[in-house]
Chains A and B, each alone.
Chain A
Amino acid sequence: MTHQLVAEQLPKPPAQSSDNKHLMLLRVSLWGLALFVALPFIWILMSWQQIDAELWQHLTDTLLLELVLNTLQLVVLVGFGVVLLGVGLAWLTTMCEFPGRRWLDWALMLPLAMPAYVLAFVVLGFVDFGGPLHQWTGDINWLPDIRNGFGVSVVLTLVLYPYVYMMSRASFLQQGLTHYETARSLGMGPWKAFFKLALPMSRPAIVAGTSLALMETLADFGAVSVFNFNTFTTAIYKAWFDFFSLQTAAQLASLLMIFVLFALLSEQRVRQKLRYYQTHKTKQQGRIQLTHRSRWLAFGFAFTVFLLAFLLPSIQLLVWALSSLDDWNSNYWELVEHTLLLGGGAGVVTVTAAFLAALARHLCKDSSMNRLTSFIRLGYALPGSVLAVGIMLSLTFIDNHLIYPLFETLEWEAPLLSSGVAALLFAYLVRFISVAYGPIDSSFEKMTPTLAEVARSLGASQRQVVTRVYLPLLKPGLLTGLLLVLVDVMKEMPATLLLRPFGWDTLAVKIFEMTSEGEWARASLPAITLVLVGLVPVILLVRKTAR
Chain B
Amino acid sequence: MKFLAKCLALATFATAIPSLSAEEVYVYSSRKEHLIKPLFDMYEKKTGVKVKYVTDKAAPLIARLKAEGKRTPADMLITVDAGNLWFATQEGVLKSLDSKVLEENVPAHLRDPKNHWTGLSVRARTIVYNPERVKPTELSTYENLADAQWKGRLCLRTSKKVYNQSLVATMMANKGKEATETVLKGWIKNLAAKPFSNDTKVLKAVAAGQCDVGIVNTYYFGRLMKKEPGLKLALFWPNQKDRGVHVNISGAGITKHAKHPEAAQKLLEWLSSAEAQEQFAGLNMEYPVNPKVEAVKSVKQWGDFKGDVINVNEAGRLQKHAVKLMDTVGYR
Interface of A toward B, CB cutoff 8 Å: 58, 61-63, 124, 128-130, 134, 140, 147, 225-228, 230, 234, 237-238, 240-244, 246, 337-338, 341-342, 345, 385, 388-389, 392-393, 396-397, 399-400, 404, 413, 415-422, 425, 494, 497-498, 500-503, 509, 512-514, 516-521
Is the CB–CB distance between B320 and A389 below 8 Å?
A: no
Task: Report whether A498 and B16 are in contact in the complex, using a CB–CB cutoff of 8 Å.
Answer: no
- Interface residue B9 (Cβ < 8 Å from any Cβ of A): yes
Chain A residue, CB-CB nearest to B32: A513
Known: A396-B67, A519-B223. 19 other contacts (CB 8 A): A129-B210, A140-B209, A228-B195, A242-B319, A244-B59, A246-B59, A337-B6, A392-B60, A396-B69, A413-B17, A417-B15, A419-B15, A419-B73, A420-B14, A425-B10, A497-B60, A498-B56, A513-B32, A513-B34
Q: Quick one: which of B10, B14, B54, B198 contacts A415, CB cutoff 8 A?
A: B14
B324 touching A400, Cβ below 8 Å = no
Count B interface residues, CB 8 Å: 62
**Least CB distance, B71 to chain A, in whole angstroms:** 7
Closest 9 CB pairs of A and B: A420-B15, A422-B13, A130-B208, A129-B208, A501-B16, A396-B67, A415-B15, A129-B210, A62-B327
DSSP majority for the B interface? helix
Per a CB cutoff under 8 Å, which of A230, A242, A425 touches B13? A425
Q: Is the pair A244, B197 in contact by a Cβ cutoff of 8 Å?
A: no
Say whether B323 faces chain A, with CB atoms less than 8 Å apart: yes
A-B interface pairs (CB < 8 A), number: 156
When the two chains form their complex, are residues A497 and B7 in contact, meaning their CB atoms are under 8 A apart?
Answer: no
Given the known interface contacts A228-B195, A420-B16, the answer about A234 and B160 at a Cβ–Cβ threshold of 8 Å is yes
Least CB distance, B330 to chain A, in whole angstroms? 8
Partner of B60, one of A385, A400, A516: A385
Q: In the complex, which residue of chain A has the Cβ closest to the Cβ of B207?
A: A130
Q: List 9 A-B contacts (CB under 8 A).
A: A124-B197, A130-B208, A134-B208, A244-B90, A342-B10, A415-B15, A501-B16, A520-B200, A521-B227
* CB of B146 to closest CB in A, whole Å: 20
The reply to whether A419 and B323 form a contact with Cβ atoms under 8 Å apart is no
| B26: A residues at CB distance < 8 A | 502
Contact at B201–A128, with CB atoms within 8 Å?
yes
Alpha-carbon distance A520/B18, docked complex (angstroms): 33
Verify A392–B54 contact, CB threshold 8 A. no
Nearest-CB residue, chain A, relative to B227: A521
**Chain B residues, Cβ within 8 Å of A341:** 6-7, 10
Contact with A along B71-93 (1 / 0, CB 8 A): 10100000000000001001000
B63 contacts chain A at the CB level, 8 A cutoff: yes
| A518 with B199, Cβ < 8 A, contacts A230-B332, A389-B63 known | yes
The distance in angstroms between the C-alpha atoms of A230 and B32, with both chains bound, is: 26
With a CB–CB cut-off of 8 A, which chain B residues contact A243? Answer: 320, 323
> CB-defined interface of B1-24 with A at 8 Å, one 1/0 digit per residue?
001001101110111111000000
Q: What are the residues of chain A within 8 A of B115 when measuring CB–CB?
A: none
- Give B254 Cβ to nearest chain A Cβ, in Å: 19
Considering only residues 184-228 of chain B, those with a C-beta below 8 Å from chain A are 194-201, 204-205, 207-210, 220, 223, 227
Complex CA gap A340/B9 in Å reads 14
B144 within 8 A of A: no
B63 near A393: Cβ-Cβ < 8 Å: yes
Which B residues are in CB contact (< 8 Å) with A234?
A: 160
B96 contacts the other chain (Cβ, under 8 Å)? no
- B204 near A128: Cβ-Cβ < 8 Å: yes
Q: How far is the CA of A109 from the CA of B323 in the complex (A)?
A: 42
B87–chain A nearest beta-carbon distance, Å? 5
A337 touches B69 (CB 8 A): no
Nearest chain B CB to A32's CB is how many angstroms away? 16
Chain A contacts of B140 at CB under 8 A? none
Q: B279 within 8 Å of A by Cβ?
A: no
Which chain B residue lies CB-closest to A349?
Answer: B13
Contact B320 A244 (CB under 8 A): yes
Instruction: Give chain B nearest CB distance to A532 CB in angstroms.
Output: 20
A398 CB, nearest partner CB in chain B, Å:
11
> What B residues does A134 contact at CB under 8 A?
208
- Please indicate the chain A residues that have their CB under 8 angstroms from the CB of B200 in the complex: 518, 520
Of all chain B residues, the one with the shortest Cβ separation from A394 is: B67
B13 touches A421 (CB 8 A): yes
Of A63, A124, A396, A415, which one neighbours B327 at CB under 8 angstroms?
A: A63
Contact B13–A498 (Cβ < 8 Å): no
Whether B55 sits at the interface, judged by CB under 8 Å, is yes
Closest to B165 in A: A242
Task: Check if B68 is an interface residue, CB within 8 A of chain A.
Answer: yes
Contact across chains for B17 and A416 when beta carbons are under 8 A apart? yes
The minimal Cβ–Cβ distance linking A410 to chain B, given in whole angstroms, is 16
CB neighbours (8 Å) of A129 from chain B are 204-205, 208-210
Residue of B nearest to A396 (CB): B67
Does B328 make an interface contact (CB < 8 A)? Answer: yes
- B327 engages A421 (CB within 8 Å): no
How near does chain B come to A130, taking the closest CB pair, in angstroms?
4
Nearest opposing residue in chain A for B14, CB measure: A420
Interfacial chain B residues near A140, Cβ < 8 Å: 209-210
Question: Which A residues touch B210, using CB under 8 A?
Answer: 129, 140
Contact, CB under 8 Å: A226 / B15: no
Chain B residues near A422 (CB-CB < 8 A) = 13-15
Q: Encode contact with A along B21-46: 1 for CB under 8 Å, 0 otherwise.
A: 00000100000111100000000000
CB atoms of A517 and B32 under 8 A apart: yes
Most interface-central of A337, A389, A518, A519 (chain B CB within 10 A): A518
Nearest CB of chain A from residue B313's CB, rounded to whole Å:
14
When chains A and B are docked, how far (Å) is the Cα of A62 from the Cα of B87? 24
Expressed in whole angstroms, the Cα–Cα distance for A244 and B220 within the complex equals 26
CB < 8 Å: which of A61, A130, A230, A240 contacts B204?
A: A130
The answer to whether A396 and B68 touch across the interface, beta carbons within 8 angstroms, is yes
Partner of A518, one of B59, B68, B198: B198
Residues of the A chain whose Cβ atoms lie less than 8 Å from the Cβ of B16: 419-421, 501-503
B306 at the interface (CB under 8 A from A): no
CA gap between A62 and B11 in the complex, in Å: 49
| A246 to B200 Cα, complex, angstroms | 29
Name the B residues within 8 Å of A502 (CB-CB): 16, 18, 26, 52, 54
Q: Does B311 contact A (CB under 8 A)?
A: no
- Once A243-B320, A415-B15, A502-B18 are accepted as A-B contacts, the answer to whether A516 and B10 lie under 8 Å apart by CB is no
The docked-state distance in angstroms from the alpha carbon of A62 to that of B56 is 30
Minimum CB–CB distance from A144 to chain B (whole Å) comes to 13
- Nearest Cβ on chain B to A149's Cβ, whole angstroms: 12
Q: Which residues of B contact A337 (CB under 8 A)?
A: 3, 6
- Give chain B residues whose Cβ lies under 8 Å from the Cβ of A509: 55
| B223 lies within 8 A of A345 (CB) | no
Q: How far is the CA of A228 from the CA of B165 in the complex (A)?
A: 16
Beta-carbon contact of A400 and B15 below 8 Å: no
Residues of B within 8 A of A225 (CB): 160, 197
B64 neighbours in A (Cβ, 8 Å): 392, 498
A-side contacts of B195, CB under 8 Å = 228
Given contacts A243-B323, A513-B55, contact A147 B71 (CB under 8 A): no
